[in-house]
Amino acid sequence: MAYPTVVMVSTVKRKVRTIESSWSTPQFLEALLLALKGDGPALSTTPLDLTEIDSRTALVVTTSGSTGNPKSVLLSAQSLIANARATHKFLGASSGERWSLLLPTSHIAGLNILIRSIELGTEPVGVESQADYSAIVPTQLHRALNGDATLLSHLKQCKAVLVGGGPLGSELHKEATNSGINVITTYGMTETSGGVIYNGAPIDGITVEIQDGRIALKGPQVALGYLNGDFPINDGWFLTNDYGSIENGIVKVSGRSDDQINSGGEKISLSAIENFLQSEFASLEIVAFAKSDKEWGEKLCIATTQSIDLNDLQGRLRGKFGAHASPKELIKVSAIPYLGIGKPDRKKLADDNA
């Protein structure tokens, strides 16, 4: 398959309609099937200021905007189906098997459950029913292992559980495995029709390489582009905002290029700080964020629901990243606010603790 060096805009249009929260699962599946077949309007997760769209588009999925302004991503039926089939090939899934829907359908991860269900000829079920496969975010896994007995039982009965939407710490991963959950780590984004790297390796159709320190992906799962243009693609390669490396064929994500702050002239990656601390303290309830500061410009702050000693935390960060990564504030909160699909709302933390 040939990939364009630029995203081409089609002059042929099709109707687009907003997904309605009142739809039942059968109604949603029917509308989605028609969108994928081209026999009905394209679907959008949010209202758009237009009634028609590029005819190749089946879904318009607006990102959460957790690291910037939300973007409306144009996804074709070919990309979405390619992702579903590559996932089923990886899992060895067969017709008649069932997915559970534990993620919101306003995000690509939840929508993918519906598309995979269409591919297998079944309807997705909830947490109270038995399923062959499921997909969750690390926060849900943490809750299953820390008191949510219904979710834990459900996940243990699945043949495989995809975990994505954010980094999965080694301790949480180990705990889940020891509890009997077959965890498959996933990496991807709305722009790649969801996860395309499973357990560190690309799924069928995907090629990965590192370009200028950032992860670049190529394959049929890559989106048509953004509704407003400016899609970062070159010769078919979609350049992500994630720094990473490939070690012995395994893709490792080290941080994001769009969550860096400048504190006293030193650049600090919030996600790198956050991932390290979550692994060190075996908890997802630790979030790095920044606040404006007259002296530093931006100062690194840590929010947590745990009782952590500031000196201990600072010492670990200095040892890993250097003196500039020592946080200026440690704030204990009753709960971490989340934005979108299991992603921390750093702006709310900054505003609430200004």
Residue 2 pLDDT exceeds 90: no
Domain boundaries, the chain: 78-254, 260-352
The reported pLDDT for the residue numbered 269 is 84
**Mean pLDDT to the nearest integer, 153-170:** 92
Q: Are 158 and 189 in contact (CB under 8 A)?
A: no
The reported pLDDT for the residue numbered 113 is 98
The reported pLDDT for the residue numbered 254 is 83
Q: How many CB atoms lie within 10 A of CB 153?
A: 14
Predicted structure pTM score: 0.82
CATH fold group of domain 78-254? Rossmann fold (3.40.50)
Amino acid at 238: F
The reported pLDDT for the residue numbered 127 is 97
Among 9, 78, 94, 73, residue whose Cα is nearest residue 37: 78
Q: Is 3.30.300.30 the CATH number for 260-352? A: yes
The reported pLDDT for the residue numbered 8 is 47
**259 falls in which pLDDT band (50, 70, 90)?**
confident
**303 falls in which pLDDT band (50, 70, 90)?**
very high
**66 falls in which pLDDT band (50, 70, 90)?**
low
Residue 61 pLDDT exceeds 90: yes
Residue 339 pLDDT exceeds 80: no
**65 falls in which pLDDT band (50, 70, 90)?**
low
Lowest-pLDDT choice from 78-82, 168-172, 193-197, 223-227? 168-172
The reported pLDDT for the residue numbered 191 is 96
Residue 3 pLDDT exceeds 80: no
Rounded (5°) CA angle 72-274-311? 155
**Mean pLDDT to the nearest integer, 228-237:** 90
pLDDT per residue over 25-42, tens digit each? 999 999 999 999 999 999
The reported pLDDT for the residue numbered 165 is 85
Lowest-pLDDT choice from 64-68, 123-127, 209-213, 215-219? 64-68
DSSP string across 219-275: STTS-SEETTS---EETTEEEEEEEEEEETTEEEEEEETTSEEEETTEEEEHHHHHH
The reported pLDDT for the residue numbered 7 is 47
